[in-house]
Structure 1
Amino acid sequence: MWFKNLIFYRFTQKFELSTEELEEKLTEKRFRSCGSQDVSTYGWVPPLGKHGDMLTHASGDFVLICARREEKILPSSVIKDALEEKIETIEQNEHREVFSKEKKALKEDVTMELLPKAFTKSQNTLAYIDTKEGWIVVDASSFKKAEELTSCLRECLGSLPVVNPPLKNMPSVTMTQWLNEKPHIEPPFVLGHECDLREAGDEGGQVNVRKQELITDEIKAHLEAGMQVSKLALLWDDAQSFVLGDDLIVRKLKFTEVIQDQLDDISADTAAEQFDADFSVMTLSLRKLINDLIDTLGGFAE
């Protein structure tokens, strides 16, 4: 359940649905496995897995949801081989050449024939809604995956008024300043030991720095030459370490022993109680992290 990445969207109006109302709406797209002719399916599953049947899990102001994508594994090489075999059979038996339009139709037929025999793979995506602060936070490292979840949620709710956080300053500019100026970054944040530097333009060069101090003459020279920070490792409040991207995606999120110490103080007798404790500690900590991150990046645009 512990999130490894964060993509967060800001509600433009208060989220008014109760947990019971949200549960009912998610049921409309409850997950079903792929049928014989399905390439993929997408829907909601219980976030507690085998420990619960509800499609939502609420704790305080936070509501956890979980989407699952299942898709058939049908390599293009398998389709290609089967198609070539079918074309060869037609050409030999009917003594004629198969042209592109017919090949396209045959490819569709071959794909439909192979789908029932294909293996499937599935992947879950977790997200939670912070009803008090007005965030929806998705455990995803790419916008494509996050927006698949928000699109499905929008279909269930009829509308989902969320936007990417509108910031005063571009994250790349602020992160570059953190390496260029003193103080480099204000508490509760501390610089980590990883960053990516990038030149402007699609063809610009890139420098990747790993496991070393970031305040060095070498890095400063790159910045003075016009490079900007595209990714930067940070530690927040001794509780979480992560890599912040210029796209405002938090990747490689890890929770430290500070969080574990909080969990050690909580008594849980069942797996469901432990899940609830983990979720509560995680979300309360991430709420503070997100708010501090927005503030240290310069705040919201007016």
Structure 2
Amino acid sequence: MWFKHLHLYRLHDAPELGAADLETALAEQAFRPLNGAEARRLGWCTPAGRAGTQYLHELQGHRLMTALRQERILPTAVVKEELEERVETQETAEGRKLRRQEKLTLKEQIYEELLPRAFVRSQKVDLWWDTRHQLIGINTSSRKRAEEILDLLRESLGSLRVTPLATQTLPMRAMTTWLGDAASRPADMQLGDQVELKAKGDDGVLRARQVDLDSDEIQQLLDSDRQASKLALGIEGRLSFVLHDDLAVKSLSFDDALIDEAAQTDDGDDSLVRLETDFLLMTQALAESIERLIAWLGGESTTTSDTTTA
């Protein structure tokens, strides 16, 4: 249940929807397995898997929902190889070269024939809705995947107005400042051992792991006009993470004390109780940490992004 990554979104004019109504809305968009002709499908599933029947878990204002995405994997190379064989066979039989449109039609036929036999890949993606702070966090490394889950939630609710979380200070500018000037770092910030530095010109990207970020080598790179696009940070007693220049929070690792607190909670060997215990402890830590991160970055931006969706 412990999240690994987060893409964060600010809710605007959030719909007033009770837990019972939201449960019904999610159930109406429940996941159904792919049929033979479908390439992909997305729907809600129970966060507890077979151990639960609820599509929504809500604890102290924190909501947990889980989407299930299935996709058929049909490698391009397989289609290409089959297409080349069929084109050669048809051209030999007819004594002529096939036109481009004929090849495209043949490619579509091959895709439709092979798709039902393709492997199916399943992926679960958790969504956290903090109703007190009107914040949504989606546990995925992919911004595109996060947007897909938001689209599913929007379809389930009828409307949903959100924007990617934004701050007054751009993350890249702040991270570069923190890295180059130890005195600029907030008192509650811990600097990690991972960084990605981008050059302003065409000198590419430099990635470093398990290094002393206060070393002379890192400072020299900053002096050559490189900027930090990713930076490992931490909050003592809470978590560590890698902050990205788009404000994505990745490679989350929760503090041992928090994990121990969850482990010491008596769940009576009930997997549902364990899920909800871990979720509540995790989201309380995340909510507090995100507030600190926003403060580190000069507060939240008041400008509504053009990417607002409804």
* Matched letter for residue 256 of structure 1: D
Contact 2:238 2:289 in 1 (8 A): no
How many residue pairs match? The answer is 301
Instruction: Quote the residue 1:103 is aligned against.
Output: 103
Instruction: Quote the residue 1:117 is aligned against.
Output: 117
- Mean CA deviation greater in 162-171 or 84-93: 84-93
Instruction: Quote the residue 1:155 is aligned against.
Output: 155
* Matched letter for residue 220 of structure 2: A
Instruction: State the alpha-carbon separation in 2 of the partners of residues 189 and 222 from structure 1.
Output: 22
Determine what percentage of the aligned residue pairs are the same residue: 37
Instruction: Quote the residue 1:255 is aligned against.
Output: 254
Going from structure 1 to structure 2, the CA distance change for 1:211 and 1:296 (only over 3 Å counts) comes to same
Instruction: State the alpha-carbon separation in 2 of the partners of residues 87 and 160 from structure 1.
Output: 48
Deviations 1:201-254 (A, max 9, x none): 5x3432222212111222222222221111111111232111111111111101
* Matched letter for residue 158 of structure 1: G
* Matched letter for residue 194 of structure 1: Q
Shift of 1:156: 1.6
Contact 1:15 1:134 in 2 (8 A): no
Contact 2:237 2:258 in 1 (8 A): no
Instruction: Quote the residue 1:225 is aligned against.
Output: 224
Deviations 1:81-134 (A, max 9, x none): 222333333334444432211111111111111112112111111111000111
* Matched letter for residue 225 of structure 1: S
Contact 1:187 1:237 in 2 (8 A): no
Find out whether 1:205 has 2:208 as its counterpart.
no
Unaligned runs of 5+ in 1: none
Contact 1:196 1:229 in 2 (8 A): yes
Instruction: State the alpha-carbon separation in 2 of the partners of residues 125 and 48 from structure 1.
Output: 12
Instruction: State the alpha-carbon separation in 2 of the partners of residues 29 and 71 from structure 1.
Output: 17
Deviations 1:238-290 (A, max 9, x none): 32111111111111101121112321442111111111101110111100011
* Matched letter for residue 63 of structure 2: V
What's the secondary structure of 2:183's corresponding residue? coil
* Matched letter for residue 250 of structure 1: V
Instruction: Quote the residue 1:144 is aligned against.
Output: 144
Shift of 1:152: 1.3
Contact 2:241 2:249 in 1 (8 A): yes
Deviations 1:130-177 (A, max 9, x none): 001110000112211111111111122121111112311111111111
> Superposition pairs for residues 233-272 of structure 1, below 5 Å?
233-269=232-268, 270-272=270-272
Instruction: State the alpha-carbon separation in 2 of the partners of residues 166 and 276 from structure 1.
Output: 29
Instruction: State the alpha-carbon separation in 1 of the partners of residues 246 and 288 from structure 2.
Output: 20
Instruction: State the alpha-carbon separation in 1 of the partners of residues 276 and 203 from structure 2.
Output: 46
Shift of 1:43: 1.2
Find out whether 1:180 has 2:180 as its counterpart.
yes
What's the secondary structure of 2:225's corresponding residue? coil
Shift of 1:15: 4.3
Instruction: State the alpha-carbon separation in 1 of the partners of residues 115 and 25 from structure 2.
Output: 31
Instruction: State the alpha-carbon separation in 1 of the partners of residues 239 and 100 from structure 2.
Output: 56
Instruction: Quote the residue 2:48 is aligned against.
Output: 48
Going from structure 1 to structure 2, the CA distance change for 1:78 and 1:182 (only over 3 Å counts) comes to closer
Going from structure 1 to structure 2, the CA distance change for 1:257 and 1:15 (only over 3 Å counts) comes to farther
* Matched letter for residue 151 of structure 2: S
Shift of 1:183: 2.1
Instruction: State the alpha-carbon separation in 1 of the partners of residues 154 and 198 from structure 2.
Output: 35
Deviations 1:34-90 (A, max 9, x none): 111111111111111111122111112011111111111211222122223333333
What's the secondary structure of 1:10's corresponding residue? strand
Instruction: State the alpha-carbon separation in 2 of the partners of residues 205 and 83 from structure 1.
Output: 38
Instruction: State the alpha-carbon separation in 1 of the partners of residues 14 and 154 from structure 2.
Output: 15
- Mean CA deviation greater in 99-108 or 11-20: 11-20
Instruction: State the alpha-carbon separation in 2 of the partners of residues 264 and 108 from structure 1.
Output: 53
Contact 2:8 2:136 in 1 (8 A): yes
What's the secondary structure of 1:243's corresponding residue? strand
* Matched letter for residue 164 of structure 1: P
Instruction: State the alpha-carbon separation in 1 of the partners of residues 187 and 150 from structure 2.
Output: 33
Find out whether 1:35 has 2:35 as its counterpart.
yes
Instruction: Quote the residue 1:286 is aligned against.
Output: 286
RMSD over aligned CA atoms reads: 1.6
Instruction: State the alpha-carbon separation in 2 of the partners of residues 183 and 245 from structure 1.
Output: 21
